Amino acid sequence: MSFAKQLRQAADSIWEASFQHPFVTELGNGTLDLKCFRYYVLQDSYYLSHFARVQALGAAKAADLQTTDRMAHHAQNTYQAELSLHENFAKKLGITEEEKASFIPAPTAYAYTSHMYRAAYEGHLGDIIAAILPCYWLYYEIGERLKDCKPEEPIYQEWIAAYGSEWFRSLVEEQIVRLDAIAELVTEADRKRMEQHFIISSQYEYAFWEMAYRLETWPVEGKEIAVHANE
């Protein structure tokens, strides 16, 4: 079995929990409260702006220029396609510039992005791909599972269409192939660490739905420092 498939299998129960999470099932059947989706859009804009930087760190750590080019292309895609999808949602949901400028990252969004930076700082490109792959692959599987759902809310339809698309599938497949190629070249200790990154990111993916569904706040409120959601 390929390395990526082994990781997918190891994380299966965590992914299953994501598939069953009410944020995901209610997005599919259209009953998800827009308040939760609105909160998600802001937190996810923050998440994606850091995700793109981690992809760019992958470009810098790549061993050859062709991989640098592809990782940089992925970072650009996050900005131009995924973040612009969120910009579009933000407009439709009436999220104002002031709201974006005085955004408070939730504990889970902060912790998840910090986890990716840690993998990028401490490791090599394989560590980075292992940490970011659940972000691609889980969303693609969710997009696939929800593909036949017809939620009444057009925003939810658009979200499902984006992640279940051919465009997104090709990005996911490219990173799976890249991870498998790197896994062949590294040590067993490296592979173990890469598996840990993948599992932790899978847990954070679940935690991210939970964060949005519960409109998570910091335990002691009133001390948060605002940042721009896209910075």
Is residue 37 part of the contact set for ligand NSP (CB under 6 A)? no
Residues recognised as catalytic: 135, 205
Is residue 206 part of the contact set for ligand NSP (CB under 6 A)? no
> Within a 13 Å sphere around the CA of 77, how many CA atoms are in the beta-carbon half?
14
Is residue 139 part of the contact set for ligand NSP (CB under 6 A)? yes
Give the nearer residue to ligand NSP in terms of CB position, either 37 or 139: 139
Q: What is the 3-state secondary structure (H, E, C) of the chain?
A: CCHHHHHHHHCHHHHHHHHHCHHHHHHHHCCCCHHHHHHHHHHHHHHHHHHHHHHHHHHHHCCCHHHHHHHHHHHHHHHHHHHHHHHHHHHHCCCCHHHHHCECCCHHHHHHHHHHHHHHHHCCHHHHHHHHHHHHHHHHHHHHHHCCCCCCCHHHHHHHHHHCCHHHHHHHHHHHHHHHHHHHHCCHHHHHHHHHHHHHHHHHHHHHHHHHHHCCCCCCCCCCCCECCCC
Binding residues for ligand NSP, rule CB under 6 A, total 9
Residue 65 CB, shortest distance to ligand NSP, in Å, is: 25
Q: Pick one of 14, 27, 41, 48: the residue that binds ligand NSP (CB under 6 A).
A: 48
Is residue 127 part of the contact set for ligand NSP (CB under 6 A)? no
Instruction: Kindly indicate which of the ranges 7-15, 29-37, 131-139, 144-152 contains the residues binding ligand NSP, using the contact rule CB under 6 A.
Output: 131-139
Q: Pick one of 3, 39, 46, 47: the residue that binds ligand NSP (CB under 6 A).
A: 47
Q: Which of 187, 80, 98, 82 is nearest to 136 (CA)?
A: 82
Q: How far, in Å, CA of 178 to CA of 161, rounded?
A: 25
Residue 168 CB, shortest distance to ligand NSP, in Å, is: 8
Give the nearer residue to ligand NSP in terms of CB position, either 3 or 136: 136
Instruction: Kindly indicate which of the ranges 59-67, 132-140, 148-156, 179-187 contains the residues binding ligand NSP, using the contact rule CB under 6 A.
Output: 132-140
Is residue 89 part of the contact set for ligand NSP (CB under 6 A)? no
Is residue 208 part of the contact set for ligand NSP (CB under 6 A)? yes
Q: Pick one of 56, 135, 142, 182: the residue that binds ligand NSP (CB under 6 A).
A: 135
Task: Summarize as ranges the residues that interact with ligand NSP (CB under 6 A).
Answer: 44, 47-48, 82, 135-136, 139, 205, 208
